[in-house]
């Protein structure tokens, strides 16, 4: 493998192992094995396990961001349909692995927020980026009259992110997408007052 | 210490260490130290770390349940006020430790649901007990006309639990009660359609 390819393989293996075992419990050996990369090369690419953890987070934050863009910048859909299709796509992705893994950013926040200020600050920054994207699309929907004008789109975007994280957590506990479907029903039906 | 007192001290130390470090990362030595209990006595009280983990969960599930009862069985309050006061009390408790710890049941679900079927099943059972209690109080509120009659109280109770877990997770990431306050505003203001 070339250098860039090896590094990407390690970052992808990191995500996989973090999702299965969490950060603290993830051994560097297991990450190297998952990536199929020889021992000893880890510290060529990363200064420390913390540096690696942050690079895994940044790598996947960029991928998640492009996935949001894919839906939210799709001008052939109405703002509300962009939002709906995006969350339905995550629902399908989580369902494809029986909702076992949840969300990398949510999992690591739960585990690391109190243990590492560096991780907490970076993860919260990513959450805020997502909230801003949700607020933008909700604002567009409101300007077009797709959702009620009395809604505070910034507050709602915060609530949306947090509640979705909770639904993802509960989906892990129930091993099914029920909590995600309930989320979509309540958010679209009761709050945005449109059919889910 | 007497036997019961020692066991309780170990369970309380377990909760403290699990909240700070998670289950996998919690060393038995650290738990004994936190409890001020001599080494060697752990396996007198518990068969294994897993047995200990489950007993910590059961011990605190019982305490959380009595706390729910304290509010939800208080007939001097209207059903809606029971619900509101209960969640405000959790909000204050989380605030008192800068929202660092979150919820034991939520944290362990996030960490253990995919790793241990025994933990997942027990944690999900506790979540379901809570959902049932929320549904009861919402049903009482609905019968008294405190909340709109079109709401499906069972679906809403599920959503309530999951979204609160998400708000608690995000409170850890933001290190503040903002997400909990947003939750109360949206749930009471937009969904139950009463003043928060």
User: pLDDT tens, B56-94?
Assistant: 999 999 999 999 999 999 999 999 999 999 999 999 999
pLDDT band at A195 (very low <50, low <70, confident <90, very high): low
d(CA B131, CA B125): 10
What pLDDT score does B5 carry?
Answer: 93
Task: Count the alpha carbons within 13 Å of B179 in the hemisphere toward its beta carbon.
Answer: 32
pLDDT at A39: 82
Q: How many CB pairs under 8 A join A and B?
A: 148
Q: A62 is written with which tokens? A: 């960029």
Nearest C-alpha neighbor of A163 from the set B183, B25, B4, B94: B183
Give the minimum alpha-carbon distance from A2 to chain B in angstroms, rounded to a whole number: 34
- Chain A environment of B155 (Cβ under 8 Å): 182, 185-186
| Angle value at C-alpha B88, between A109 and B84, nearest 5 degrees | 120
The string of pLDDT tens digits covering residues A33-73 is 999 998 888 999 999 999 999 999 999 999 999 999 999 99
Residue bearing tokens 């942050």: A54
A112 Cβ neighbours under 8 A, 6+ residues apart? A23, A119, A120, A123
Best of B19, B105, B170, B174 to mutate (most A CBs within 10 Å, chain A): B170
Quote the pLDDT of residue B39.
Answer: 82
Query: Is the pLDDT reported for residue A88 higher than 90?
Result: yes
> What tens digit of pLDDT does each residue of A145-184 get?
999 999 999 999 999 999 999 999 999 999 999 999 999 9
* Confidence tier at A139 by pLDDT (50, 70, 90): very high
Question: Which of A130, A170, A178, A189 has the most B C-beta neighbours within 10 Å, making it the best mutation to test the interface with B?
Answer: A170
Is the C-alpha dihedral spanning A19, A20, A25, A29 positive or negative?
Answer: negative
Residue B195: its pLDDT value, please? 65
Contact across the interface for A183 and B115, Cβ inside 8 Å: no
Q: What's residue B196's pLDDT?
A: 52
* Chain B residue closest in CA terms to A174: B124
> B16, B154, B157, B162: best mutation site toward chain A, by most A Cβ within 10 Å?
B162
Residue B7 confidence (pLDDT)? 96
Full pLDDT tens readout for chain B, 196 residues: 788 999 999 999 999 999 999 999 999 999 999 999 988 889 999 999 999 999 999 999 999 999 999 999 999 999 999 999 999 999 999 999 999 999 999 999 999 999 999 999 999 999 999 999 999 999 999 999 999 999 999 999 999 999 999 999 999 999 999 999 999 999 999 999 886 5
Q: How far is it, in rounded angstroms, from Cα B38 to Cα B19?
A: 22
On the question of pLDDT at A196 being above 60, the answer is no
Q: How far is A39 from chain B (nearest CA, A)?
A: 24
Please give the pLDDT value at position A49: 96
**Spatial separation of the C-alpha atoms in residues A162 and A187, rounded to whole Å:** 12
Contact between chains at A111 and B114 (C-beta distance less than 8 A): no
Residues 6+ apart with CB under 8 A from B56: B11, B14, B15, B18, B104
Q: How far apart (Å, rounded) are the C-alpha atoms in residues A171 and A155?
A: 24
Tell me whether residues A155 and B114 touch, CB distance under 8 A: no
Of B162, B173, B182, the CB nearest to A109: B173
pTM of the predicted structure, to 2 decimals: 0.96
Are B182 and A127 in contact (CB < 8 Å)? no
Chain A residues near residue B181 by CB distance under 8 angstroms: none
């Amino acid at each position: 493998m070339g250098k860039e390819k090896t590094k990407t393989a390690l970052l992808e293996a990191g995500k996989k192992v973090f999702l299965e075992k969490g950060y603290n419990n993830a051994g560097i050996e297991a990450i190297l094995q998952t990536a199929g990369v020889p021992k000893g090369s880890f510290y060529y690419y990363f200064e420390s396990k913390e540096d690696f953890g942050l690079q895994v987070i940044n790598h996947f934050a960029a991928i998640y961001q492009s996935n949001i863009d894919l839906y939210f910048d799709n001008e052939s859909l109405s703002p509300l349909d962009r939002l709906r299709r995006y969350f339905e796509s995550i629902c399908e992705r989580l369902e494809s692995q029986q909702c076992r893994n949840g969300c990398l950013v949510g999992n690591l926040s739960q585990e690391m927020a109190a243990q590492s200020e560096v991780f907490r600050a970076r993860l919260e920054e990513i959450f805020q980026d997502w909230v801003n994207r949700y607020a933008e699309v909700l604002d567009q929907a409101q300007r077009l009259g797709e959702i009620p004008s009395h809604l505070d789109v910034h507050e709602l975007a915060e609530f949306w992110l947090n509640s979705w994280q909770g639904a993802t957590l509960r989906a892990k506990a129930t091993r099914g997408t029920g909590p995600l479907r309930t989320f979509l029903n309540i958010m679209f039906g009761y709050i945005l007052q449109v059919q889910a």
